[in-house]
Structure 1
Amino acid sequence: MKAVVIYKSKTGFTKKYAEWIAEELHGDIFDVSKADINMLEDYDTIVYGGSLYASGILGVKFILKNLDKLKDKKIAVFATGASPSREEPINEVRDRNFTKEQQEQLAFFYLRGGFDYTKLNVFDKFLMSLLKWQLKKKKELTLDDRGMLAAYENPIDFTRKKNIEELIAWIARENK
């Protein structure tokens, strides 16, 4: 099996997972900005990772617009976000990003990442400031809301190498 991991990371959490996955698979790794579809011909297994951005997976169009060219490959996509791993929101992300047909061609995984306000660009800081303002206006905050507000002052990192185990196991099963 020859594997490649391609990723798009704004704050480093997705990149950390991509590096761990590439290491486990003894595969190559590329930032999506350095990848092109023709280079994927040499690989049996393709893993794409991107952080969540308004429930969209950053850069996943690289894979989706080329699914027809990748039909003979094993494809896994992972998304990272600061939220806890819960089935309902994960299913919403999957269904928002992939059609039923696309879901049959790839496996989707959610890996809990983190949040570091200081690493955001100006535009993203503006958007996150709007979210912070909305949260502060709420009459009752959920545990997740309180955690998000606290993360503006103190970055949080939930990345753990063990979080990739399910993805790695899926690849091992698919390549038997």
Structure 2
Amino acid sequence: MKTIIVYSSQTGFTKKYSEWLAEELGGETISVKEASKKDDDFFDSFDAIVYGGWVAVEKIHKLDWFTSRMAKWRGKKLAVFCTGASPATYSGVNTLLDKALNDEQEKYAKVFYCPGGLDYSKMSLGSKMLMKTFSAMLKSKKNKTEDEKAMAEHVSASCDMTDRKYLAPIIEYLRK
């Protein structure tokens, strides 16, 4: 199965997963910036197209690039994965995944989550400020839920939660 993984990565976690996935599937990777420059027929030779993006403010970055092309790719195996600073067990992950695609798009693609992390040294100033504000808000909140306690811990400093094991469901889905 000829596979391409298109990705958007701000600090490297999504790119890392994309490269690991390409290794596992014998596929290739391309940044969404480069993919945007390609004609539609560039994707014709691929059997599977995967989009990987990072999560910010409960949305998958540049997902619209992928979803706007899905109708053209209906005969292909389609998947989306996203990375974020939340542990895989965080309850907000399921909400994010449920909202990523509409009912029609869910007929043709599936969405997955891979815990990434935070690398404050590689973030844009705006992203750093957003995350630091979010961290401060969580820390100051009284009566935190278990999810909020875990999230406050995870966003307080740079961390790397990447693990190849999170790719297993994506690989299984694509190989069906």
Between 34-43 and 80-89, report the one with greater CA deviation: 80-89
Counterpart check, 1:29 vs 2:32: no
Cα distance change on mapping 1:153 and 1:130 into 2, 3 Å:
closer
C-alpha distance in 1 between matches for 2:43 and 2:22: 15
Unpaired runs of at least 5, structure 1: none
Letter aligned with residue 124 of structure 2: N
Task: Write the mapping of 1:82-101 to structure 2, written as runs, cut at 5 A.
Answer: 82-86=85-89, 88-101=91-104
- 1:3 Cα deviation (Å)? 0.6
Task: Write the mapping of 1:1-176 to structure 2, written as runs, cut at 5 A.
Answer: 1-35=1-35, 36=38, 37-86=40-89, 88-151=91-154, 154-173=157-176
C-alpha distance in 1 between matches for 2:77 and 2:90: 23
Q: Secondary structure at the match of 1:83?
A: coil
Q: Over aligned residues, Cα RMSD in angstroms?
A: 1.9
C-alpha distance in 2 between matches for 1:60 and 1:70: 15
- 1:88 Cα deviation (Å)? 4.6
Q: Secondary structure at the match of 1:72?
A: coil
C-alpha distance in 2 between matches for 1:19 and 1:68: 26
Q: Work out the number of aligned pairs and report it.
A: 173
**TM-score (normalizing by structure 2):** 0.89
**TM-score (normalizing by structure 1):** 0.89
